[in-house]
Structure 1
Amino acid sequence: MASGTERGTEVAGGPAACYQELSRFPTVTRAALGATTGAQTFLLYTECSRPDLPRRRLLRFSRHYSLQRTGSARLAARRAALSAEIHHQLLSQDSPTGQHRAVLSRCPRQGHELLEVWGSGGRSHSVDLTALGKHGEVYTEGPFSCLAWSRSETRLLYVAEKSRPKPRSPCPWDVPGAGRLAEEDEDEEGEQFVYREDWGEALSTRSVPVLCVLDLEGSSLLVLEGIPGHLSPGQALWSPDDRGVVFVGWWHEPFRLGLRACSNRRSGIFHLDLASGRCELLSAEHSAACSPRLSPDGRRLLYLEGDVGGPHRQCLRLCMLTWQTRQTVTVLDVVQEPTEAFAGLYAEVLPPRCWAADSRRAVVGTPQRSRMDLLLVDTETATVTNLTAGSPEGCWELLTLQWDLLVATCSAPNRPPSLVVAVLPPAGQELPLCWVPVEDTPTVPGVTWKTLTIQPPCGGQTPATHGTQAFQALLLSPPDGTAPHPLVVCPHGGPHAVFDARWRPSMAALCQLGFAVLLVNYRGSLGFGQASIRSLLSRVGEQDVADTQVRGTGLGADGGVCWEDTDGGRMLTFGCWHLGAPRVQLAVEQALCSEPLDPHRLALLAGSHGAFIALHLLAREPQRYRACALRSPVSNLPALLGTSDIPDWRYVSLGLPYSFERVPRAEEVATMLLRSPIAQAARMQTPVLLCVGARDRRVSPTQALELYRVLRARGVPARLLWYPEGGHALAGVETEADVFGNCARWFLQHLGQPRRDRTGQHSP
C-alpha cells in the first residue's frame, strides 16, 4: 500500500509517538462465561485486539479470569491465566452450557477454512470446510455473519457464500468447435464474466449468502434449502426445539443496495422448518427487522424493527414475539422527542446474549444523546431503566449477559476501555448497580472533556419545529496551563450517526499534541429522537451546516444565544454572547466564548458527510479556518448517483422520493449540484488535505480527485493521499496510523507548532 507519510525524523512526542502510545490499550471484542460446580465461581473468557504498529497488523489475544460470587450482588474478580495470542482465528462461539467452543480458523498454508470444536479434553472435531467444496467463504463479519450452536450442542449453524463453478482457464489451443464435448461446457464458459451483484461498501465479496449446518454427530455438512430465492439470509439461530432455524432475510430484488450502516433495508424475521422446508415470515411484511434474540426459556423472541427507506439509520422499535402463539407486541416504540429517562433505541444490533435469566428482562446498549448507555427493558411492563446514567464514563457496551452476570466495557474520551462485571439484581431492585472492575484502565493525563448542549435561537428563516431542537457537542481539551489552545472542529459523518463519549486514541493524541477538539452532534444525529433525525431530510447542506452557524436575526432581546454546559453531571447556565458578524458558527463560538481557546487557530477534521459539512463551512467562512483535513469527502452530490452503493440517499436527503427504477431528472441534478460544496469551490481559501481509499464503494474517490484539481488550479494549497487498498472507512492498522499522522502534521504545519514551556507542557 502506498503511504502518504512524509519522510523525515519524527520528533519526540510528535504525532506518530503520541498515536502509538495511545493505541496500545486493547479493545475487548468478545466475552463468554462458564459456570463451575455450585454456580458460585465463573470462568470469564475474553478476546481482545489492539494495533501492533511496528508489525503493521492487528494483534489479537485472549485473557482468562475467575469470578467469585461473595454475596447476592457481589463479585470478586482475578486474572486466572496469562494472556495468549490468537492465531488465524476468524470466528468463535461457546456452546449454551459453556462446555464446548467452536472455532473457525484459516490454515496459513493452504488457506483452507477449518471448523473445530474444543472442550476440556482437547479438540473433538475438525472439519475442512474448503475441502468439502459445498460453499464458498464463510461470512465472519458484517450483518450476515453468525455461528450458532443448537440447544442439543450437536449442530452448528453459520452463513457462507454460495458455491459457484470455478471459471475455466482458457487454453491457447482452444478454437471454435474444438474440444466442445458437451453443451454444458459452453454454458459454463459463458458465465465467466457475468456481473454478480454484491452488498456494497465493505461487503464486496458478499453476494449470495446461504445457511449451512454442520452435524457433529453425523459428521455431515448441509446447505439448507427452502429459503425463497428473493431473500439473502443471515443472523441465524436455532428454534427452541432445534427443528428449525430463525434467520433475517433481506430482499435483494430487483437489485442490491449498500447494506453497511443501513438499517432501513427491507428485511424480515423468518422461520425455516427443517423437516417440511416451510419458510414462515414472523415479522411485519413491509419493515426492516433484524437481530433476533431468543429468551433462555425459548418462549420469547426479541428483535429490532424499523421503517423501510428514509434515513439509513434511525430510531427503532423493540418487538417481541411469543413463540407458541406467534403473536407480536411492540415493547418499545419509536421515540419522536426524547425525555430525560429515555431517548429511544438506535443500536444496529442487540447484544448476542441480552436476556436476563428470568426471560422477562433484557439489557441493550444504545446512544442516549451524546452517551452510549446500557438500558434494562422489562418486556412485560414496557419500562426502561438506565443502568449507567450519571456515570463518569460516557460509553458503555454490553459483551454478554449469562446467569444474570453482566460483562461490559466502559470508556470515556480520556479513559481507555475498562472491563467490568456486575450481578443483575431481581426485578425492581436493579439500581444502584454495583460494577466491579476486572481490568481497570486509568485516565490518560493531558485530556479533559465535557458535554456542551446548544439550543439554537428562535426566529429567522428556519421553521420553529426544526430550528429550536437542541443538539450537543463534546469538547476535549489539553491542560489549562497550555492555553489558549488551537481548536479542531469535527462534525461526524453519516449523516445519521453520533459522536458518543467513548475513547478515541486519535482524538486523545490531538489533545496531547496541544489541540482542543470539538465533536459536533448536529441535528439529525442518532440519540436525540426520530424528529431530530427526520428534520435533516430535504435540508442536507443547509441545516447541518447552519447548526454550526447563526444568522444575526431573531436571537432575543440582547442579540445573544443562551447555552448550557454539562460537566460531571452538573448543568450550568451561562450568559449570552453577542454576535459580531452576520453569521458565525454556533457550536464553535459557544466553545470559544467559555473555554481557553485561540479563535485565530481553528481547523476542521471530518469524513464522508462530515467532510461535506466542512467543505460548506470553508466556502461560507473562507477566512475562518487555517487548515482542513478530510477523509473520503462528499463534494459532488449528482456524481454519486451512478457511483455510490446507496443511490437512494441522494434523493431522500433532498426530500425527493426514491424508487428502484428511478433515473435522475435535470432539475433534480441541478438541485443536488447547488447543494454540493464543489459548486462553491471558488470561495475556498483554506489549505486542504484529502485522504481517500481507492476501493471506496460509498463515496467514489474521484470526488476528492476532482476537488483536489479544482483547488490546485485556483492556487489553494491542497494535498491528496491515495490508499490503493482503502475503503470508505480507511480502516486497517497501517492506514489509520498513516492518516492520523498526516492530518496531525497538516495541522501543526498550518496552525503552528506548539512550544513547550519550562515545565515541559505545551504553550502557544
Structure 2
Amino acid sequence: MAQLDKLLAAFRVSTQYPALISARILDCSTTSLSVQSVWVQRILERQSTTRYRQTAVSDYKTYTITSPPTDISNELISAYSKSNKYFCVVREVESAKDSKQYLEVWADCCLIKTYDLSALDVHGKIYADVEFETLQWSPDETKILYIAEKKVPKSEPFFKQKPISSGDKSDVEIKNAVPGKEYEWSQDWGEQMVGKITPVLVVCDIKSDTIELLPNIPNNIHPASASWIPDGSGVVAVGYKISSRKLGLVYCTNRPSHIFSLTLNGYYNVLSSDSELSVKTPRFNPNGTKLVWLERLVGGPHHSCFKLISYNWSTKEITTVVDFVDNQTVIANNKEVPFYGLYNQAILRRSWLNDNKTLLLSTPQGGSIHTFAIDTETKDIYYLPVTKPFHESVSVVDVFNDILVCHKSSLNKPGQLFTIKINFANEMYDFNNLSIHEISPSRSLPNSDEYVVEHGYTLYDKPTTIFYGPKNGKCPLIVFPHGGPHASSLDSYMPNAAFFVQIGFAVLFVNYRGSTGLGKNYVESLLGNIGDADIKDVYNAVQSNPLWSNRELLLYGGSHGGFIVTHLSGQYPSKFKAIVALNPVTDLITMSGTSDIADWGITETGYNYSYSDVLANSKEVLMKLADCSPCKIADKVQAPTLLLLGDKDLRVPASQGLSYYHLLKEHGVTTKVLMYNDCHPLGSVSADMDSSINTALWFIKYTNEDTKESKD
C-alpha cells in the first residue's frame, strides 16, 4: 500500500500542471499589455478536466493576474471580433436527455444575443476539432462564420404509433420523418471525429438574426478551417475532396484537398494550383494583400515536410516562400542552427508582424520546437533565440502589434507563457536581440535539479535521442519510441515521462528514421522499411551508449511506438525486462481492413494504396504486410507484456492488441490486457491514471529486487 501511495502521489505531482489551449493579446501599448489565456487542467477527484480562462496585465517587467480563473468547461470554441468589441462563444449544455448548443454574443460586459441552435434546427452540431474548427467574425463585425454538421432528415421505424395531433411543431416533424432510415450508416471522418460526416459553412448575421448555410459548395468537397475574405464578401477555406472512402483525418496531413474561395452569393473558385495536393490553414495578412497556406503532396507518409505558399490577392500569383527541405539548410541570422523544414500542422489566426510580410511560425526541429520569423517577400528565415537551441521547446501562440505571446516548456519544466517585443529600427526587425518577459508563473518539478535532459546525435549526425532522468545512478531505463511513425519525440513537457522519472526510472526517446523535424528525406526513408529500419534505429540508439545499454531496459510505446516495442521484444528477446504497449499495431493485414486509415500499412510497407487491389490480387503486398507484423515473431517473445487498449479506438482497433495477447498466451508469455472505455490516445483522466500506475507497477515488478528496494 505504501508503494501505491507513492505512485499516486507522483502521478498527482506530474499531472497537476495546467496545459495551454490558447492565448490572445487583448490590448498593448509601449508601456503595458493585457493577455487572456485559456488552460485545461486535470482534476483527479472528479476524474475529469476543467477548462478555465484568466487575464494577466504586464508592464513588460512584472505581471499581475487581474481576476481569479473562470471555469469555462462548457465552452466549445470562442472568438473575439477584430476590435475586441464583440465576443462570441459556442456553449454546450448537458441535460439528462441530451446536449444542446448555444451561440452567444457578448458586448459591453453583458450577453446581448443567444441563439438556441438545437431549437433553430438549421444544422447539426458545430465542429470544434482541430481539423475543421472555424469561428470567426466578419471584418465589419456583423456576422459570425462557423462550420457545423449538415442537418439530417428526421427518421422513424416503418411502424410507429402516431400521437393524437396537437398542431404544434412536433406534428410537422413527424409528418416529414422518413420511415426506415433510422439505421442507415454514413461514414464519418474517423478517429476522434465520430459523428462528423458532412460539414457545412454557416453564417450567423447578428443584425438580422438569421443563420444561413453558404451555397454552391460541390457535394464532393467538405469545407474546413475557413476565414473571411478581407472585404467580407466571402470566405476562403480548405476543401477536402471526398472519394469512395473517407480516410481518417486526425494526425494525417496527406489527404487530397485544395484552397477555395466562396462569395456570400455562391461563387466558388479554386485558388491552389495542383489537384494532387494536401493543404492546411489559409491565413490572410492584416491588410489583406497576401494569403498564405501550408502545402504538401497527397499520399505517402501521413505527415511530412510542408511548403509555405503565398498567394497575391490582387494579381493571383502563387509563390513558394519556404520549399521542402530534403535534409537541412541554413537560415539568415544564425548559421549554427540548422533548419530542417516546416512540420507544423497549422498557421495561427494572428501570426503577422506589422510590416504585413513577416510571418511567425513554430515547428518541430530535431526533437525540439523552434520559432522562426519568415519574410514572405525576401524568403529569408530568422531563428528567434528565446532559449539555447535544444534546451526548451518554444511555440508562438499569438501575434499583435509586433508583440508575441509564446509558450515554452521542457521535459523537466511545465509550460509557461511569456511575451516578446520585436524591435524595429532602420526599417528592419532585430530578431537577435529580443525583449522577453514572463506572463504566467514559472513552475518546476520537485527536485528538478537532480534530473537532466540531454539531446544526442546518434543517427546520420542528426539530433535523434533525448535522455531524461537522474544525473547520477543506474536506474532502469524506459525506451520510449513515439507513435506515428511520422511524428517526433520532443523536449517539451510530457506528464507521463515526468511521472516515470519521479518514481525512479530514466526515459530514452528516439527519433528513428521516419520521424518528422529532420528533413523530408528522413521522413520518407522509412517507407518500405518498417519493422526493420525503425527497430534497428531504436535498438542501435540504446546500444550506442554504455550508460544506457548496461542498465535494466524496459519498453513503452503506443500505436506505431507499440509496433516498435512489440517488434523489439521479439527481435531481441533477452534484452528487455518488461514491455508495455498502448493500442499497438501488431497485424498489418487486419489493420488494412479495420482501421480508419486503411492506407497506412500499405503505404508504410512501400506500396501505393489501393484497398480493392490489395484484397483482390496482390499476394506480394499481403506477404509484405505479414512479414512486417510483430505477430509473426510473437513466439520469440520472453518479456512480460502489458497491453493497454481502448475499446473505442478507430485508428488501431483493440482487436490488434487482443489477437497479440492470445498469441503470447499460447506461447507461455506472461501477459495481461487492460481495456478502457476510450479512443486511441487513452487520454481521459481515468484511463490515463489507471494505465500510468499499472505501467509503473508492471515495470517495478519485473525489474530486479535491488532496484525495487532502492525505490521503496
TM category (shorter chain) comes to over 0.9
Alpha-carbon distance in structure 2 between the residues aligned to 1:687 and 1:479: 28
Deviations 1:121-149 (A, max 9, x none): 31121111111001001001130111011
Deviations 1:43-96 (A, max 9, x none): 21111111111111101111111133xxxxx55432222222224111111111
Q: Secondary structure at the match of 1:107?
A: strand
Mark the CA change 1:216 to 1:40 in structure 2 (over 3 Å): closer, same or farther.
farther
Verify the 8 A CA contact 2:552 2:577 in the aligned structure 1.
yes
Alpha-carbon distance in structure 1 between the residues aligned to 2:46 and 2:675: 22
Alpha-carbon distance in structure 2 between the residues aligned to 1:205 and 1:196: 9
Alpha-carbon distance in structure 2 between the residues aligned to 1:506 and 1:215: 45
Equivalences for residues 138-157 of structure 1 within 5 A:
138-157=126-145
Deviations 1:468-490 (A, max 9, x none): 5645111011242xx12111001
Mark the CA change 1:291 to 1:342 in structure 2 (over 3 Å): closer, same or farther.
same
Residue 699 of structure 1 aligns with which residue?
A: 652
Residue 432 of structure 1 aligns with which residue?
A: 433
Alpha-carbon distance in structure 2 between the residues aligned to 1:302 and 1:64: 30
Using CA pairs under 8 Å that are at least 6 residues apart, name the structure with larger relative contact order, 1 or 2: 1
Shift of 1:308: 0.4
Mark the CA change 1:763 to 1:129 in structure 2 (over 3 Å): closer, same or farther.
closer
Residue 95 of structure 1 aligns with which residue?
A: 81
1:747 aligns with 2:664: no
Mark the CA change 1:666 to 1:284 in structure 2 (over 3 Å): closer, same or farther.
closer
Equivalences for residues 202-213 of structure 1 within 5 A:
202-213=192-203
Question: Which residue, 521, 527, 541 being the options, matches 1:587?
Answer: 541
Shift of 1:12: 6.6
Alpha-carbon distance in structure 2 between the residues aligned to 1:405 and 1:76: 16
Residue 34 of structure 1 aligns with which residue?
A: 26
Question: Which residue, 627, 630, 646 being the options, matches 1:677?
Answer: 630
Alpha-carbon distance in structure 2 between the residues aligned to 1:19 and 1:454: 31
Residue 133 of structure 1 aligns with which residue?
A: 121
Q: Secondary structure at the match of 1:54?
A: helix
Identity of matched residues, %: 30
Verify the 8 A CA contact 1:354 1:362 in the aligned structure 2.
yes
Residue 596 of structure 2 aligns with which residue?
A: 645
Alpha-carbon distance in structure 2 between the residues aligned to 1:87 and 1:686: 43
Mark the CA change 1:332 to 1:16 in structure 2 (over 3 Å): closer, same or farther.
same
The one-letter code matched in structure 2 to 1:349 is A
Alpha-carbon distance in structure 2 between the residues aligned to 1:76 and 1:624: 52
Question: Which residue, 374, 383, 405 being the options, matches 2:380?
Answer: 383
Q: Secondary structure at the match of 2:694?
A: helix
Mark the CA change 1:495 to 1:62 in structure 2 (over 3 Å): closer, same or farther.
same
Runs of 4+ displaced beyond 6 Å? 184-187, 753-757
Equivalences for residues 338-353 of structure 1 within 5 A:
338-339=328-329, 340-353=337-350
Question: Which residue, 59, 62, 66 being the options, matches 2:53?
Answer: 62
Deviations 1:583-610 (A, max 9, x none): xx3211234x2x3x58352100001111
Alpha-carbon distance in structure 2 between the residues aligned to 1:90 and 1:652: 35
1:474 aligns with 2:466: yes
Q: Secondary structure at the match of 2:54?
A: strand
Deviations 1:363-422 (A, max 9, x none): 111011111011111111111111146257421122111111111110001000011111
Moved more, 673-682 or 84-93: 84-93
Residue 574 of structure 1 aligns with which residue?
A: none
Shift of 1:191: 2.8
The one-letter code matched in structure 1 to 2:647 is A
1:449 aligns with 2:400: no
Deviations 1:528-577 (A, max 9, x none): 000101110101111101113xxxxxxxxxxxxxxxxxxxxxxxxxxxxx
Equivalences for residues 752-763 of structure 1 within 5 A:
752=704, 762=710
Residue 417 of structure 2 aligns with which residue?
A: 419
Residue 353 of structure 2 aligns with which residue?
A: 356
Question: Which residue, 592, 603, 612 being the options, matches 2:554?
Answer: 603
Verify the 8 A CA contact 2:205 2:211 in the aligned structure 1.
yes
Q: Secondary structure at the match of 2:454?
A: strand
Shift of 1:275: 2.6
The one-letter code matched in structure 1 to 2:652 is V
Verify the 8 A CA contact 2:156 2:180 in the aligned structure 1.
no
Verify the 8 A CA contact 1:230 1:253 in the aligned structure 2.
yes
Alpha-carbon distance in structure 1 between the residues aligned to 2:266 and 2:131: 27
The one-letter code matched in structure 1 to 2:23 is A
Residue 107 of structure 1 aligns with which residue?
A: 93
Equivalences for residues 474-493 of structure 1 within 5 A:
474-480=466-472, 483-493=473-483
Shift of 1:173: 6.1
Verify the 8 A CA contact 1:282 1:326 in the aligned structure 2.
no
Verify the 8 A CA contact 2:474 2:551 in the aligned structure 1.
no
Question: Which residue, 584, 593, 601 being the options, matches 1:633?
Answer: 584
Residue ranges of structure 1 left out of the alignment (5+ in a row): 1-8, 69-73, 175-180, 457-467, 549-584
The one-letter code matched in structure 1 to 2:52 is F
1:395 aligns with 2:393: yes
Alpha-carbon distance in structure 1 between the residues aligned to 2:534 and 2:500: 25
1:84 aligns with 2:96: no
1:49 aligns with 2:40: yes
The one-letter code matched in structure 1 to 2:650 is R
Question: Which residue, 616, 639, 662 being the options, matches 1:686?
Answer: 639
Verify the 8 A CA contact 1:75 1:422 in the aligned structure 2.
no
TM-score (norm 1): 0.86
Shift of 1:666: 2.1
The one-letter code matched in structure 1 to 2:376 is T
Mark the CA change 1:253 to 1:685 in structure 2 (over 3 Å): closer, same or farther.
same
Shift of 1:289: 1.0
Shift of 1:700: 1.5
Alpha-carbon distance in structure 2 between the residues aligned to 1:360 and 1:353: 13
Shift of 1:503: 0.5
1:735 aligns with 2:687: yes
Verify the 8 A CA contact 2:367 2:463 in the aligned structure 1.
no
Residue 201 of structure 1 aligns with which residue?
A: 191
Verify the 8 A CA contact 2:238 2:260 in the aligned structure 1.
yes
The CA RMSD over aligned residues, in Å, is: 2.3
Alpha-carbon distance in structure 1 between the residues aligned to 2:480 and 2:43: 27
Residue ranges of structure 2 left out of the alignment (5+ in a row): 163-170, 330-336
Aligned residues: 686
Residue 15 of structure 1 aligns with which residue?
A: 7
1:710 aligns with 2:663: yes
Alpha-carbon distance in structure 2 between the residues aligned to 1:438 and 1:42: 10
The one-letter code matched in structure 1 to 2:41 is R
1:368 aligns with 2:322: no
Alpha-carbon distance in structure 1 between the residues aligned to 2:612 and 2:659: 28
Moved more, 282-291 or 682-691: 282-291
